[in-house]
A and B are shown apart, each in its own frame.
Chain A
Amino acid sequence: MNRFSAEDARRTEALEARLGLRLAASLTALEVAKPDRDVNERLRFAREQALARGREARRTAAASSLHGARGGTAVMSGPDTNTPWWLRVSSVLPLALLLGGLIFIDHQYSRAQIEAAAEVDAAILADDLPPEAYRDAGFVEYLRSARQ
């Protein structure tokens, strides 16, 4: 029963397709039998316009990609073998100088901090008062009242 139904459906589908194609062919035949010359002419013009626009778009894209490629080479100093070595070095030099400067500043800052800490330590150690005195609340109070 199911097999019959499936075959029946396939047969109907095939017949529908045949009729569909025949009807569609009638539409094509109508175009041929009764062409609309004005519409056809306007379609031809529209097509030519579209093709011209397409050519223009491709030309613009090609030009911009070429320009982009050249720009990229100049900035990156990439694989362009015509660029002299000193020009390639000079493009990296500012970056190297900046990096060196940053390292020097960091080193100087660390050194200044170490020296300041050493001075404080030396002053405390060289003082008559032992460092433990500053932990005594009474001595701190004495210093404060003496300052006032």
Chain B
Amino acid sequence: MATDKELSDFLKSVEKRAFKRTAYTVRDEEAALDIVQDSMIRVAEKYAERPAEELPLIFQRILSNATMDWFRRQKVRNAVLVNLSEFEGADDDGGDFNLLELLDTSTTGTATESAADSVGRLQVLEIIDGEVARLPGRQREAFLLRYWEELDVAETAAVMGCSEGSVKTHCSRAVHSLAKALRAKGVSL
């Protein structure tokens, strides 16, 4: 069972990322704050008795469900699904683009520093943020859960309600899309 402090520390550690992830999806800061707060309340009220190590997965599931509930309430779910299906069709993210070109430049720390110096560190970060926001919904969800929340493939699949294969595909496409978009803007990591 998670203690009050463990629960508090856990929520503190995830709240900002949860907000950002939700804001990416609903594109409305007020709504994102409401969704995160509702999710935190649900965890605190109903799942505080669970072991602390189970909380991340539980919270991410609750947050995803709360976000979907918000879309249902807004009666825009159909529009979202249409958008998602369009995004699923965008299959040419990987295409002929060679991921290794960008990844090779990302193997050294000095490359990171020089890129940050030339473009301006904050500007680079904002460009990355913008490109993540532009990712198709499912790809962004998989990308953020896998690499930002650092869930494993099985956990991400459980949160997203899809197969592990789909998670891998979404993640791969997301990374390729980001790499391609960033290269097009002259950003290297």
Which positions in A face B, CB cutoff 8 Å?
12-13, 15-24, 26-31, 33-34, 39-40, 42-44, 46-47, 49-51, 53-55, 57-58
Contacts and interface: CB of A to CB of B under 8 A. Distances in A.
Contact of B41 (A22, A44, A49): A49
A18 B103 contact: yes
Interface string B83-112: 000000000000000011011001000000
A86 B172 CA distance: 76
Contact of B132 (A12, A23, A50): A23
Interface in B162-181: 168, 171-172, 174-176, 178-179
16 contacts: A12-B99, A15-B103, A16-B172, A19-B103, A20-B174, A22-B106, A23-B189, A24-B143, A26-B189, A27-B20, A27-B125, A46-B36, A47-B40, A50-B44, A54-B45, A58-B48
A63 B41 CA distance: 20
Listed from nearest, the 9 A-B pairs whose CB atoms lie closest are: A54-B44, A50-B40, A46-B37, A24-B147, A20-B147, A30-B125, A24-B148, A57-B45, A50-B44
A12 B168 CA distance: 12
B40 A46 contact: yes
Contact of A47 (B8, B126, B171, B178): B8
A98 B121 CA distance: 87
B7 A23 contact: no
B117 to A, nearest CB: 15
A13 B172 CA distance: 8
B172 A27 contact: no
A57 B12 CA distance: 20
Contacts of A20: 143, 146-147, 171, 174-175
Q: Interface extent on B, as a size class?
A: 35 or more
B171 to A, nearest CB: 7
Contacts of B102: 19
B100 A15 contact: yes
Contacts of A53: 41, 44-45
B54 interface: no
A16 B20 contact: no
B116 to A, nearest CB: 10
A31 to B, nearest CB: 6
Nearest to B16: A31
Contact of A23 (B11, B15, B175): B175
Contacts of A58: 48-49
A132 B168 CA distance: 97
Contact of B36 (A15, A16, A24, A43): A43
Interface in B1-49: 4, 7-8, 11-12, 15-17, 19-20, 29, 33, 36-37, 40-41, 43-46, 48-49
Nearest to B5: A51
